[in-house]
Amino acid sequence: MTTETHEFQAEVKKLLDLMIHSLYSNKDIFLRELISNASDALDRLRFEGLTQAELLPEEELRIRIAADPEARTLVLDDNGIGMTRDELVENLGTIARSGTLEFLRTVEKSSDASPDLIGQFGVGFYSSFMVADEVSVLSRRAGEEDATLWKTDGSGEYTVETAKRETAGTTITLHLKAVDADDGISDYADEWTLRQIVTRFSDFVSYPVRLTVMKKEEGDDIAKAVETEEPLNSMKAIWTRPASDVSDEEYKEFYSHITHDHEDPLLHLATAMEGNFEARALLYLPSSAPVDLYHREMAHRGIQLYVRRVFIMDECRDLMPEYLRFVKGVVDAEDLSLNVSREMLQQDRQILAIRKHLVKKVLESLKALKQEDEEKYLGFWAQFGPVLKEGLLPFDEKKERILDLLYAATTHDGHPLTSLSGYVERMAEDQEAIYYMTGPSREVLVGSPHLEAFVDKGLEVLLFSDPVDEVWLEQMPPEFEGKKFQSVGRGEIDLTSKEEKEEQESDRNQEAEAYKDLIQCMGNAVQKDVKEVRLSHRLKQSPSCLVVDEGDLSPQLEAMLRQAGQAVPERKPILELNPDHAILKRLQEIFEKDGTDPRLSEYAELLFGQAVLAEGGHLEDPGAFTRKLSLLMEKAL
């Protein structure tokens, strides 16, 4: 039969140029697209075979890849539904046939093309021209006798002629371009390159993808090359199977396969969404924190995204909030909106709905673990607790879900860590707030003077020492089970009961009057460092402490902001002095003898420095503090 020549029904050169330089950032994608098309052809044949069993081949449905390094060709063959002559012309001869000019205009305006493009525009096949100078397609429709050969070099024309093919299916032959590392073109005739691409992008395609390779066999003292087929994809998309049909060992093996983490996961979670759109997910919580947990720019594995078991991206951050970035696994959506190159997601309600569903399921799983196996949960908290608390920062998060998972160090005997619910259960009947304190470490906090009155009263205080604690507690102190959070190092705190205050009111007034002039004198000595000096009701053993006024930033948060290069408003703390301490009583005696005694200002500076160090702070001039302290010790000796 005479060979026919046709013109493509599109601005071909312009379109192919866009394909090569604009739509796809990774040229390896072409093989994913061709395998996906072959998988679709196999799906169609299997569907039609339900009513026309004679269409199904005797051999298994499969996809075969063969490369010839010498001829520089790559062949992809399937035994799927195939195409007739008219279908070849219609499907391959009309590029983006649902409106070419509108397609071109959309792509030229933005790489974020309309979410409807994928599925309306058959452009995946043309990604072949990123790596090939010439492409031919030999296809025979199932149930038909004749085959058709379609061929083009992408110049604007293609040829169609009658050909022979023994069975139904499609064979695509690519005449490969030269390897060009600068342009991202690998050696696609190389066996190991093909293995890596298929493993990454098409590992879970539901049909076997096999590579034809030449192996040398020894026989009759003569080595000869023999063609063999080796599987490339695992097809183990276990998230598509009922959870009851998958063993724990299979879940562990799959986790290792997708994460390359050789430790067993802490737990796994299989979930599905059904309704207007469908999606399945298989998520894992690692046992140990990865080294890049706090370096997001270095992270390379999180939630892998698939659409109908075809790999789309390695780390889909849109599907999991930052505070759950340690969650690993896969999400497979049936009809997710992508841009035309399938390399970027469109921000639409599907993405938000899937994300909301996944977050809910992960937090529910953590809550169940906390209730059923607290020891195991505490192991998780030690690894990922600080990251989970980042979920308390956004204003739009449902913070009570995370607060219910929170653990903190505590002053309660025998409980190094406690949940908030455990704290609330132990609260005194008349206690209205959850008392807490923040600082650089638990060791520093345990020795803080601020805790003395609480220890004396037998009141439990939560100790927060992660950097994120400074932010979420400062930003908007939440409530838990109707109880507000109150810092023991902020504002004035007086734990005496109403009856005790009435009994002590006269003594306090006398005390305030007696120390009034000394307090003023010492305030003048340290006025450059503090906004006020006052008597304390929270100190029992220590002579002094620093208090942050309501509305002021804590010293730790100030330090964090400065390290981040942000401007911090000038703030001075309040210095509180213990009126019952021997030091203050002795200073009062000195003041009564001589209000100008230089020791008064020296002791004021020492008491301030001592208070700074007690809360883990840093002195502006540690040398001066050391000299004053040495002189004091010398005189005492």
pLDDT per residue over 241-283, tens digit each? 888 889 999 999 889 888 888 899 999 999 999 877 889 999 9
Same domain, 364 and 459: no
**Tens digits of residue pLDDT in 96-114:** 443 333 434 554 555 443 3
CATH number of the domain within which 445 lies:
3.40.50.11260
Which of 105-114, 317-326, 347-356 is least confident?
A: 105-114
Strands 147-152 vs 267-273: parallel, antiparallel or unpaired: unpaired
Say if residue 504's pLDDT is above 70. no
Are 435 and 450 found together in one domain? yes
Q: Which residues pair with 332 in a beta bridge?
A: 280, 306
C-alpha span between 600 and 255 (Å, rounded): 67
Q: In Å, what is the CA distance from 589 to each residue of 368, 517, 582?
A: 62, 12, 11
Tell me the C-alpha distance between 379 and 407, whole Å. 11
Q: Please tell me which of 155-159, 509-513, 576-580 the model is most confident about, judged by mean pLDDT.
A: 576-580
Give the span between the Cα atoms of 205 and 198, in whole angstroms.
10
The more confident residue out of 294 and 561 is 294
- Decide if 392 contacts 449 (C-beta within 8 A): no
Say whether both 225 and 243 belong to one domain.
Answer: no
Calculated CA dihedral for residues 184, 187, 190, 196, nearest 10 degrees: 0
Looking at the chain, how many residues does it have?
Answer: 637
Task: Decide: 136 and 150 in contact? Cβ < 8 Å.
Answer: yes
For residue 624, is pLDDT > 70? yes
Sign of CA dihedral 106, 108, 113, 118: positive
> Among 383, 371, 157, 172, which residue's Cα sits nearest to residue 265?
383
Q: Is residue 46 domain-resident?
A: yes
Contact between residue 34 and residue 128 where contact means Cβ atoms under 8 Å apart: yes
Specify the CATH number for the domain of residue 147.
Answer: 3.30.565.10
Whether residue 392 is contained in a domain is answered as no
CA distance 42 to 385: 47
Domain identity same for 16 and 92: yes
* 361-413 tens-digit pLDDT: 999 999 999 999 999 999 999 999 999 999 998 876 678 899 999 999 999 87
Q: Stretch 537-555: mean pLDDT, rounded?
A: 81
264, two tokens: 């067993």
pLDDT, position 371:
95
Q: Look at the alpha carbons of 551, 552, 553, 555 in this order and tell me if their dihedral is positive or negative.
A: negative
Structural domain count of the chain: 4
User: Which is more confidently placed, 19 or 277?
Assistant: 277
The reply to whether 63 and 171 lie within a common domain is: yes
Residue 62 has pLDDT above 90, yes or no: yes
Query: How would residue 340 be classed by pLDDT, with cut points 50, 70 and 90?
Result: very low
Q: Which CA distances in Å does 68 have to 13, 173, 185, 198, 478?
A: 28, 11, 17, 17, 66
Q: What is the pLDDT of residue 456?
A: 86
CATH number at residue 538: 1.20.120.790
Of 461, 487, 513, the domain-final residue? 487
325 falls within a domain: yes
Q: Which residues lie closer than 8 Å to 566 by C-beta, 6 or more apart?
A: none
Binned at pLDDT 50, 70 and 90, residue 20 comes out as low
pLDDT at 98: 34
Instruction: Say if residues 139 and 148 touch (Cβ distance below 8 Å).
Output: yes
Asked which of 427, 455, 487 is the last residue of a domain, the reply is 487
273 and 282 in contact (C-beta within 8 Å)?
Answer: no
Lowest-confidence region among 18-32, 44-58, 541-555: 18-32
Question: Integer distance in angstroms from the first to the last C-alpha of the chain?
Answer: 117
Question: Tell me, what amino acid is at 570?
Answer: E
User: Region 231-239: what's the mean pLDDT?
Assistant: 87
> For the domain that residue 320 is a member of, what is the CATH number?
3.30.230.80
Q: Considering only residues 113 and 73, tell me which one the structure prediction assigns the higher pLDDT.
A: 73
Q: Last residue of a domain, which of 333, 360, 375?
A: 375
| Separation CA 36–CA 40 (nearest Å) | 6
DSSP sequence for 501-526:
HHHHHHHHHHHHHHHHHHHHHHHHHT
Q: Which domain holds residue 558?
A: 504-636
What pLDDT does residue 551 have?
67
212-221, 324-333, 582-591, 593-602: least confidently modelled range:
212-221
pLDDT band of 119, cuts 50, 70, 90: very low
Q: Which residues contact 320 (CB under 8 A, 6 or more apart)?
A: 302, 303, 327, 355, 358, 359
Determine, yes or no, domain membership for 433.
Answer: yes
Which pLDDT value is given to residue 300?
A: 55
Q: Is the pLDDT of residue 29 over 80?
A: yes
- Quick check: is 184 in a domain? yes
Report the alpha-carbon distance of residue 521 to residue 518 in Å, rounded: 5
Q: Is residue 398 part of a domain?
A: no
Backbone torsions φ then ψ of 595, nearest 5 degrees: -70, -10
- For 496-523, what is the mean pLDDT? 78
Does residue 123 belong to any structural domain of this protein? yes
CB 340 within 8 A of CB 118: yes
- CA proximity to 489, closest of 344, 318, 612: 612
Which string of DSSP letters, residue by residue, matches 417-435?
EEEHHHHHHHS-TT--EEE
Pair 473, 564 in one domain: no
* Residue 584, token pair as written in the block: 């203050």
Indicate whether 299 belongs to any domain: yes
Alpha carbon distance 612, 615 (integer Å)? 6
In terms of domains, do 271 and 296 share one?
Answer: yes
In whole angstroms, what is the distance from residue 304 CA to residue 300 CA? Answer: 10
| More confident site: 458 or 504 | 458
Residues 220 and 243 in one domain: no
pLDDT score at 33: 87
Tell me, what DSSP letter sits at residue 338?
A: B
- CB burial string 64-77: b at 16+ within 10 A, e below: bbbbeeeebbbbbb
Please give the pLDDT value at position 461. Answer: 94
What's the average model confidence in pLDDT over 524-542? 89
What is the CB neighbour count within 10 angstroms for residue 93? 20
Whether residues 591 and 558 share a domain: the answer is yes
Residue 118 pLDDT: 29
Phi first, then psi, for residue 49 (nearest 5°) are: -70, -15
pLDDT at 506: 66
Bridge partners, 73 (sequence order): 68, 175
- % residues pLDDT > 70 (the chain): 81
b/e map of 187-226 (b: 16 or more CB within 10 Å)? bbbebebbbebbeebbbbbebbbbbbbeeeeeeeeeeeee
Least confident of 54-63, 68-77, 106-115, 160-169: 106-115
pLDDT of residue 358: 95
Query: What average pLDDT does the segment 169-189 reach?
Result: 90
| 8 plus 54 within the same structural domain | yes
Residues 144 and 208 in one domain: yes
pLDDT of 139 above 90? yes
Q: Are 475 and 571 in the same domain?
A: no
Mean pLDDT of 619-629: 85
CA distance 215 to 226: 5
**Does residue 342 register a pLDDT over 60?**
no
